[in-house]
Chain A
């Protein structure tokens, strides 16, 4: 695993981005992502054209019949999953991919009601994958953007994700979230003896890899904003402690030297600190540890349970949950522990607050009358909106653009444990577009990475 991860890093570094043509045209098509999008934008993703020689070459290297179609399928699937776009059926396309990429006949695409068109070309040059793509505005009859990438062939799925990010950004005006990964806990076995492993996959569920073997219980992995490090809770030798894992080298270490359980870790936005809870004599408080100089700081000092801390994106504030009022509620404070304010006041219990990467909202789990909700509120606690209700769900994690939340959901079981499942789900901030994120095993505790490329 170690070697493979290292290779990934090299591949990533190899990805060269060239801007082919300057973009002059105005965005005439615009997709509004601030409200529930009930009429997704119809667009056509033409298979990327490929010459015979390149096709044969990639077939040998990647064992894929037509890598041009494969990449366009990655893009198409991403756009569809976003809920903002409606990729049209390829059977209705009138123009061949190579000709469309040179100059689309806009009338033909207009006829099938496409408002935008993505075309492109794949070539094999010196054993490298070169992909160019263009985004066309069909109604205006104009090219909106054109880009080319050169990378190693095995990176082909990432090229599809980067193309999607570029298209998404051009059409919505906001950064995408497709060239990202999810770290989560893969689960197997009966509820009473559950086996849990750290696992990582691309945002669309591909390239799944296990990072631990399942010998010890692992929980709550969280990405560093710099992406190569993960912090999580491991029960190694039956001592539940916060660990740091380098996903490229596989190196692991315990965070700090605490005489008791440490848990609920997260990185600070600059990736330099870990914030977590330390439980001692029945009391959990919030601590930070600086990863450079190993200095440990105590942030809260209260006889109640203080846990699930999360920094604001500027690092100045912390949200957390505490039962100091008697029951679990959400609080905010300055990063030094001063100025503690309760912000959740609705009925029931509130937990797992996570500050949005945009800074304006806090996502949370709420338990009320036997139902679990994922919701968002402003950072002062006003404007609470519940996005989804279920038997059990918790632990939202934000997409890097702050538009989508991923969380996990568990189903009811009988006394034999039958009927139980744990799965990852995603939902838009608008409360629309709720989707199952498919994983081979049961899954929980998802954490979304930042964009791998910018």
Chain B
């Protein structure tokens, strides 16, 4: 009986702590600035537009090359715009933040730009119209040394080539 009670209480405490932790995590991931999700930039400070409603860039988590849901959404808009403007060629410029070694970052930038390229291709854009250029950490858009600045710099930018 007693044991059962203890177990029951313990269970309640456990559930409560899980909920509390969940809240804490939630709070942490929508950081104070409200411009980052995890460490992926979600703001629009640096974003330019290829056409109305077509953002030119997608952002990545530290050391990651996987596209986020928001990135895939942006790339689908780019693909739609490219399908409509079939004479336009683009360069995908891949970038890394300053918190990595120079050579590895060159490779990382190349991989980021390619994951954007692959996605555009699955939405019907021919590989001939897309070239890829990695700048590694050489061309940051934000000069700062803060997690927010770094999140803006981890990006693949679609640039009109003609």
Contact = CB atoms under 8 A, between A and B. Distances in A.
Interface string B37-68: 00000000000000000000000000101000
A27 interface: no
A264 B106 contact: yes
A282 B111 contact: yes
B67 to A, nearest CB: 12
Interface string A351-363: 1100000000000
A193 B142 CA distance: 11
Interface in B97-138: 98-104, 106-108, 110-111, 113-115, 118, 132-134, 138
Interface residues of A, number: 49
A217 B106 CA distance: 13
A192 B46 CA distance: 13
B143 A445 contact: no
B113 to A, nearest CB: 8
Interface stretch (A31-39, A142-150, A381-389, A406-414): A406-414
A243 to B, nearest CB: 15
Interface stretch (A2-10, A12-20, A415-423): A415-423
Nearest to A239: B133
A370 B99 CA distance: 8
Nearest to B113: A282
Contact of A413 (B103, B108, B114, B143): B143
Range of interface residues on chain B? 20 to 34
Contacts of A412: 145
Given A191-B143, A412-B145, A416-B143, A219 B138 contact: yes
Nearest to A415: B144
Given A307-B107, A412-B145, A240 B133 contact: yes
Contact of A305 (B108, B115, B143, B145): B108
Contacts of A305: 104, 107-108, 111
Contacts of A264: 103, 106
B102 A394 contact: yes
A352 B101 contact: yes
A224 to B, nearest CB: 19
Q: What 6 A-B pairs are tightest by C-beta distance, nearest first?
A: A417-B143, A282-B114, A415-B144, A351-B101, A284-B107, A264-B103
Interface of A: 190-194, 217, 219-220, 233, 238, 240, 260-261, 263-264, 277, 279, 281-284, 305, 307-308, 321, 323, 327-328, 349, 351-352, 365, 367, 370, 391-392, 394-395, 410, 412-417, 419-420, 444-445
Given A219-B138, A412-B145, 20 more contacts: A191-B140, A192-B141, A192-B143, A193-B139, A219-B102, A220-B102, A240-B106, A240-B134, A260-B110, A261-B133, A263-B107, A284-B111, A321-B101, A323-B104, A328-B104, A351-B101, A351-B103, A352-B103, A392-B99, A415-B142
26 contacts: A192-B141, A192-B143, A194-B138, A217-B138, A219-B138, A220-B103, A260-B110, A261-B106, A264-B103, A279-B134, A282-B110, A283-B111, A305-B111, A307-B106, A321-B101, A321-B104, A328-B101, A328-B104, A351-B104, A367-B100, A391-B145, A392-B98, A395-B102, A415-B142, A415-B149, A416-B143
